Structures are given as structure tokens and as C-alpha cells.
Structure 1
Amino acid sequence: MFHLRPRTVADCVVVINWIPDAEAMHLFTGTRLRWPLTVAQLTAMQAKPGFSAWTLSADQSQSPAAHFDLTIDGDVAHLGRVLIDPQLRGNGLAHVVVGFAKGQAKSLGASEMRLNVITGNEPAIRTYLRAGFTMYSSERPNVTSMNLVL
């Protein structure tokens, strides 16, 4: 059983420790943030209108098992920075995270969810396709854009 809760500064410290190098960070954040990732970079994003960041914790644990953020723009939720604790990967948790993200987006008033994945991040692309997302043409190089009607 997982529980969704708003991300805290302490969670940011944990999430940053899941990222071993610049390449892994690029898959997590794209080109918007710089290596080495810092708590200040993650928390600065909270100033963006419509932004919220979330963690999933296993059972009653306060330690995050996964992270994602949403930015609501009208009735569209932009899903970003999805990351799972490396020790928990490969067990289907990505599908759980996407389910929680969809539910949270709906509760925030979204009727559509969009996301961008670094092209070549096949595990993420497979996860989103399995969750019902479809690809659409992106003007950004090296990015696969996807959307889902909620």
C-alpha cells in the first residue's frame, strides 16, 4: 500500500541521492536543471504557478519511494520529474506512480495529462504507453511528447 503526500524539503534530499550522475539527472529533469542537482533547484520550481510536487511512501513510512510533479495549466496537467527509488525499481512501481499522478491531476481539475520523455528512455516510454498515453509530434529535439485524456 502506498500513500501520496506533498513533497517536503527532506524528501528532496532523498530524491537527489537517487541520482548518481549527470546522465541519470538528464533523464529525470531534462535540460531545465543542472548537475549536480541541489535542493535549491528542486524547491525553486515550486514558485511556478500551478506547480505541485508529490512523493509516494510505502505503508506508513515517511521515506519516499517515488517522486513526481504536476503543473496545472487550465485543464491540462503536465507530469514531470518522475523518479523511483533505485532499490524499488523493476517491480511495477512506475505503474503505481502513474496511477497516483493521474488521480492527483484529476483532483486538481485536469481533463488531460501531458508529459515529455527524453527520447531513448524506453522504460519510461513503455510505462506511459501501457498507461494509455499516446505520442504526439514535438517541436523539441530529443523529446518524446505524450498525452492522455483523463
Structure 2
Amino acid sequence: MRLSPFTINHASLVASWPTTPTEALMWCGLREFPVRGQTVSAWQRHPDVTAYALMEDERPLAYGELWPDTEEDEVELARIIVAPGVRGRGLGRRLVRGLLAEARLTGLSEICMRVHPQNTPALRCYRGAGFDPVDAESAASWNTGQPVEYTWLRYGHA
């Protein structure tokens, strides 16, 4: 298994991974269900999005993005999802570790992420990978204007 840059020829497959409207909402914040391949393809055109796939041979098993922000001196891990048939096998944590390695290469000081507060499996995965909740004041500030009160996590901070 290897972490590889994402190619849009897998966009429709990744878009099919959320199996319910709630799962799509928790994954990418969209109320669109099913998620369309064109939506995932469009994300790749954003200059501040770098997407990766955890690959087994030529088959993607998990997907995630990095959103670097030089003004804030941080990189955010985002839109992380594991294919339905391989969930519960540690691939999410493996993907997160790979994304962390890529995030460190950006040279930005902070690594963070936001998680839907009801996404218990994701929170467990990210906590296990070394993320901790940010302080309440930062979370409140970062949630201003957000569609939900996300749980904000920062890597390597207690």
C-alpha cells in the first residue's frame, strides 16, 4: 500500500464511498447525495487543495486532502474517507499518517483538522493518530460562519 497523488480518473469511485446522506455530510459538508464525481473532480482544481489516495496496486482504498494556508502558517487535513468495503482495518489511520508526512513537507508550523462532532469513528481515528482538541476559545473562533460546530483538532498539541 502506498500514498499517491490523487488522479481525477478515480473521482467517481471516491464520490460513491459515502453510503448515506449523513455520511456525505460528515465527510465533506455537502447535503448533496449521492455525491457526484464532478464534485470530487472540481475540488482538484482549487489551487489550495492537494489530494492523495491510499492505493493498493491501482485501486484507491482511502482519500484525503491537504489545504495549506501560508498566511495562517498551517495546513489542514480534510475530506478524509475510506472505501466502505475496507473500513475498520486501520486504513484511515494509515492514510492520516501519510497525510501528516506530506503536511510536514510543506514547512508550515501547524497541522489541524475539523471533524463533524457526530463522526465518532473519525474522531477516534484522528485522536489515535496524535491529534488533540484545540482550546475552547480557538474552536469558537474557528467555528464562526461554519455550518456546524465542528470539533477542531491540532496535531501534536495537548
Aligned to 1:123: 121
Aligned to 2:15: 16
Instruction: Between 103-112 and 137-146, report the one with greater CA deviation.
Output: 137-146
Aligned to 2:94: 96
Structure 2 alignment gaps of length 5 or more: none
**What is the TM-score normalised by the length of structure 1?**
0.88
Aligned to 1:64: 60
The 5 A counterparts of 1:1-150 are 2-31=1-30, 34-58=32-56, 61-74=57-70, 75-136=73-134, 137-138=139-140, 139=143, 140=146, 141-149=148-156
SS at match of 1:125: helix
SS at match of 1:109: coil
Conserved? CA contact 2:92–2:125, under 8 Å: yes
| Alpha-carbon distance, 1:108 to partner | 2.4
**What is the TM-score normalised by the length of structure 2?**
0.84
| Alpha-carbon distance, 1:46 to partner | 2.6
| Alpha-carbon distance, 1:118 to partner | 0.5
Identity %: 27
The two structures, once aligned, show a CA RMSD in angstroms of 1.8
- Size of the aligned set, in residue pairs, is 146
In the TM superposition, what whole-angstrom CA distance separates every residue of 1:42-86 from its partner, at most 9, and x where no partner exists?
22223333211110112xx11101000111111311111101111
